[in-house]
Every structure is written in structure tokens, then in C-alpha cells.
């Protein structure tokens, strides 16, 4: 069922793109995988899942983050799914922050989006099962992401603390129920009942976390990020983490913006952070 559409050697390993029919999103999905040198059926490696932000595909991180050399050195595979279902039959919106390219890693309940926009099920269940079945990887995994994908990574980890060994994010949308991007997306995908929104909000989920389920978390935020005050609100998550004594580290990097220039500057730090737990 997997179709390999590209294969490129890099940093001694391989970057490959695949498409496959997905049952959770009822359409053809695409993902990319980086396999470090030496990965084989007799030498399986752990996986870092990367969730990208608004308007992105699997290609943004793989082409711009500069993660391969460090991942190769550490022996970590990286898997990057697309940010939403796509296709002529998949509903869309004219704006960049809703519809295709803006799945927000949730399961939609509102028509017409509820048929295809089940990115939570895809990322949490379907994709890892596919990866572990077809590639030389272990079931040990961590999760990271950027912006909307940072929201996805932290949210997914909090909802599935036994499935991941660590979580990190760059410029995450940590409190989507209280920012314009999140309010628009959650209204469109989940409806007007705000009591249903909290299940996908990192701040709200962390408030409910039990100490036995705590995961090491790292968030890196650019101080010159134009979305910092209105959309990202990292201080909201820091306040919850402080109250809960949750092991979250927020690192503010002055002068950096929201772009992949920022991500590429600190991706090695995130890979080293995850490596402590992926290879323990």
C-alpha cells in the first residue's frame, strides 16, 4: 500500500517520501522519513515524529531544518507527516489558517470536515503503526513540532503520555482556546461548544496531568516572533507548569523570529534533548 515517491541519500542515511491510502483521513496521505546510517532490521532505531505548522507539508522541516547530520550522529529516525488531508474531494477554505494545510492535529466533528480531518487519529495511531510495520524502527518514540505542530506535539504527548518518552516544540500554540488561530480552527472543526475544545488544548491538558504521567518537555521560543503575544502565549503554559511542577523547560531566544532560520539554529539542541530519552 505504500508508494515510494522519492529517495535521496543524505548525511550517510536516507530521506524518503511515501504516499499511502489512509483509513483515518479517507484520502491519500504523504509523509517523509529520514533513516540514519546503519538502520536495519537487525539494528532498529528510535523515532522522532515532527509535526509542522500552518501551510506546511512534510517537506518544510525535511528541507529547511538541517536536522539530518545530528540525527545521523545520534541514530534517530525522523518521520514528518503532512499537516492535513488533501485532495480534490477534501473540503478546504480560502484562508491559510483553516482547511487543507491547517488540520490542527485534532479529530473534526463538524461537517463537512469530519470525514477527512482526523489528523489526531492519523498521527497517534495509524502513522506509527505503519512506520513500525514497514521501517527498521523500534516502538520507542518522541514527538516535536513547530507552531500549529508545536501545539500538536505537546497536546498529543499530554494525551498519550505512555506512548512517548519526551516532547518538544518550537513556537507552539500552547493555548488555542484563547487565541485567534485556535478559536477559528476549533469553531470550524469542533463546533461552538467550547467544552469540547479543552481536549485539544495544551494548557488545559497539563492542568489535568497526573504526576505519574509527566513527560520531559522542552519549548523554544523566539523573542522577536511576530505571533508571540497574540497567538502563542507561552507564559500561559509556563504558569500551569509552575503550578503543577511539570518538567517543562521554556527557553526564550532573543532576536529570533517564527521561521526555519530559527528552527535550524536550535534543532540540534532538541535532538540532543530527545536522545537522552530515546536511547536510554
Which active-site residues does the annotation give?
Answer: 147, 225, 258
Beta strands across the sheet bearing 13-22: 3-10, 13-22, 27-35, 77-81, 45-51, 137-145, 167-170, 217-222, 248-253
**CA separation, residue 90 to residues 93, 101, 105, 193, 197 (Å):** 10, 11, 16, 24, 23
Task: For 36, list phi and psi in degrees, rounded to 5.
Answer: -70, 160
**CA separation, residue 267 to residues 2, 36, 173, 189 (Å):** 29, 16, 18, 31
**Burial (CB count <10 Å: 0-12, 13-18, 19+), residue 147:** buried
Alpha helices in 16-137 (DSSP H): 58-64, 68-74, 119-121, 127-134
Cβ 204 vs Cβ 143: under 8 Å: no
Alpha-carbon distance of 220 to 242, in angstroms, equals: 17
Alpha-carbon distance of 190 to 204, in angstroms, equals: 16
First to last CA, the chain: 33
Of 46, 4, 38, 2, nearest in space to 20 by CA: 2
Amino acid at each position: 500500500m505504500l508508494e515510494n515517491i522519492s529517495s535521496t541519500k543524505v548525511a550517510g542515511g536516507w530521506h524518503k517520501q511515501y504516499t499511502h491510502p489512509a483509513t483515518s483521513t479517507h484520502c491519500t496521505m504523504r509523509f517523509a522519513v529520514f533513516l540514519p546510517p546503519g538502520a536495519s532490521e537487525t539494528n532498529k532505531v528510535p523515532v522522532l515524529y515532527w509535526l509542522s505548522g500552518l501551510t506546511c507539508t512534510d517537506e518544510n522541516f525535511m528541507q529547511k531544518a538541517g536536522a539530518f547530520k545530528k540525527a545521523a550522529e545520534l541514530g534517530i529516525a525522523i518521520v514528518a507527516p503532512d499537516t492535513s488531508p488533501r485532495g480534490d474531494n477534501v473540503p478546504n477554505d480560502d484562508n491559510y489558517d483553516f482547511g487543507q494545510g491547517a488540520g490542527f492535529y485534532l479529530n473534526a466533528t463538524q461537517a463537512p470536515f469530519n470525514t477527512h480531518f482526523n489528523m489526531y487519529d492519523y498521527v497517534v495511531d495509524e502513522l506509527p503503526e505503519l512506520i513500525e510495520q514497514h521501517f527498521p524502527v523500534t516502538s520507542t518514540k518522541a514527538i516535536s513540532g513547530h507552531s500549529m505542530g508545536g501545539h500538536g506535539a505537546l497536546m498529543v504527548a499530554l494525551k498519550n503520555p505512555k506512548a512517548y518518552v519526551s516532547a518538544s516544540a518550537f513556537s507552539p500554540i500552547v493555548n488555542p482556546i484563547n487565541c485567534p488561530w485556535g478559536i477559528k480552527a476549533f469553531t470550524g472543526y469542533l463546533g461552538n461548544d467550547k467544552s469540547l475544545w479543552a481536549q485539544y488544548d495544551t494548557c488545559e491538558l497539563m492542568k489535568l496531568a497526573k504526576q505519574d504521567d509527566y513527560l520531559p518537555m522542552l519549548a523554544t521560543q523566539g523573542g522577536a516572533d511576530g505571533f508571540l503575544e497574540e497567538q502563542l502565549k507561552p507564559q500561559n503554559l509556563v504558569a500551569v507548569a509552575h503550578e503543577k511542577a511539570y518538567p517543562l523547560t521554556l527557553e526564550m531566544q532573543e532576536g529570533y523570529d517564527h521561521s526555519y532560520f530559527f528552527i535550524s539554529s536550535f534543532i540540534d539542541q532538541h535532538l540532543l534533548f530527545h536522545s537522552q530519552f530515546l536511547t536510554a
